[in-house]
Amino acid sequence: MSNRKNIMFVEYCADLKAGGAQRVFLNILKSISIEKYNTYAAYPNAENSDFAAEIPENVTSISYHSRSPDKPRNRLAAYVLFMLFVPFIVLRWCYIIKRKNIEVVYVHSIISGFHFGLVKYLTNFALIYHEHNMASQRPATIFWRLLFEFVAHRANSIIAISTDVATDLAIFGAKEERITVIHNGIELINESDCSQLRHKGMKRLALATKSNPLVVGMIGHFRPWKGQMLFIESFQAVLKAKENVHFVIVGGIHDQAYYQQVIDYIDENQLSNRVTITGHQDNVPELIACFDIVVVPSVPEPFGLVLLEAMMMRKPVVAFDIGGPAEIVSDGRTGLLVREIDGQALGHAIGELAVDADRRDRMGLAGRKLLEQKFTCRIQCESIERLIDGCFLATK
């Protein structure tokens, strides 16, 4: 008879284009121990989701319909409708947990945390809440504040992806003794495979020209906090250090007004032939492979999964000295941290690396070693498994 424990991971958004949290969810499923756990993965419309193709065979998928007040035409009506569905959702989850004898539920969103916080009143299990964002990135409404406070109170354990996120959680009412900082990890690609990706990336970006420009890239959806404007504002400072340089922005449009603001700045400063905007792309490592420098200009930045992807591809990184980057980047060894939140300051740091190929190579090599030592999926999941095992003991 198997001694494996039953755990259910719940993701509220089954869209790989949404952001890094969805990729983290999949990485955990792929790396979590199959010897210790019977693993279930619940996410919206499981049979038709892109997630289905990436779910490991040993993980059982559970389909459900999500309902969120995130993007309503009429906000009040959406909130009312959301609350009306809550009893039905709670009863359904209660049935599933009892039927499958789930002992730990691991959620990745505040909405799921709210639902399972209510389910806990009806049946016994441990609840783990994995927080990927800062409070400033949530809607500034009483509804969301109360929702978070409820989840923080009901969760047995809360995972923060960085120390800044942990501090933020405590400020918003989470008990410090329940918070554990566990950094994200990524699946490693062999270095030999990494070197083969650069040519593919250059072809996709159409930059394999005779001029052979130095390519400086950033990856992130167009949202103000992602920092595309700061990135573009850094261009002139970089140009003073190195003439033959090309900027690349990879990411979908989540804020049309902000996207237009960036486009207008590019046009007004006649940078159209020096900046490439690719839109959303699926094969991020292939594109990072053709960057000479990877920039993460996000403010705030809870973690920065792109930093790990850059380190895997042996690329030096430049980011602001805040949040996740301050914990991931070894300043001067694997990249540069910029203390002043300013486009010019960012440009000066990029320029330092633009003119020194040997330094870029050394930083890239050091970054790869640091990644292998601290930021792999296996390392992340070992910490998560220790937390899960503690929760299993708590449910007995």
Q: Give the residue from 35, 32, 31, 53 showing the smallest Cα distance to 43.
A: 53
Are residues 326 and 337 located together in one domain of the fold?
Answer: yes
Are residues 388 and 256 located together in one domain of the fold?
Answer: no
Q: Give the residue from 208, 203, 296 showing the smallest Cα distance to 249.
A: 296
Which pLDDT belongs to residue 18?
66
Which of 78-92, 120-134, 201-215, 367-381 is predicted with the least confidence, judged by mean pLDDT? 201-215
Mean of the per-residue pLDDT values for the chain?
89
Which of 200-204, 252-256, 275-279, 320-324 is predicted with the least confidence, judged by mean pLDDT? 200-204
Q: Which residues of 334-349 are buried (b: 16+ CB within 10 A; e: fewer)?
A: bbbbbeeeebebbbbb
Q: Tell me the C-alpha distance between 368 and 309, whole Å.
A: 9
Are residues 18 and 140 located together in one domain of the fold?
Answer: yes
Q: Is 396 exposed, middle or buried (0-12, 13-18, 19+ CB in 10 A)?
A: exposed
Are residues 180 and 272 located together in one domain of the fold?
Answer: no
Q: CATH number for the domain including 21?
A: 3.40.50.2000
Q: End-to-end alpha-carbon separation of the chain, Å?
A: 19
**Per the structure, how many domains does the chain have?**
2
Which parts of the chain are beta strand (E)? 5-10, 37-44, 60-64, 104-107, 126-131, 157-160, 179-181, 214-219, 245-250, 275-279, 293-296, 317-320, 335-338
Are residues 269 and 345 located together in one domain of the fold?
Answer: yes
Q: Give the residue from 382, 249, 380, 253 showing the smallest Cα distance to 306.
A: 249
Q: Cβ neighbours of residue 66 under 8 Å, at least 6 residues apart?
A: 12, 13, 44, 111
Are residues 173 and 312 located together in one domain of the fold?
Answer: no
Are residues 96 and 218 located together in one domain of the fold?
Answer: no
Are residues 325 and 390 located together in one domain of the fold?
Answer: no
DSSP 227: -
The average pLDDT across 223-252 equals 95
Are residues 292 and 389 located together in one domain of the fold?
Answer: no
Are residues 88 and 121 located together in one domain of the fold?
Answer: yes
- Domain enclosing residue 37, as ranges: 5-186+376-395
Are residues 196 and 84 located together in one domain of the fold?
Answer: no
Entry pTM: 0.89
Strand order in the sheet with 126-131: 60-64, 37-44, 5-10, 104-107, 126-131, 157-160, 179-181
Q: Tell me the C-alpha distance between 197 and 290, whole Å.
A: 8
Per residue in 176-207, pLDDT tens? 999 999 999 999 888 766 666 766 666 666 66
Are residues 176 and 311 located together in one domain of the fold?
Answer: no
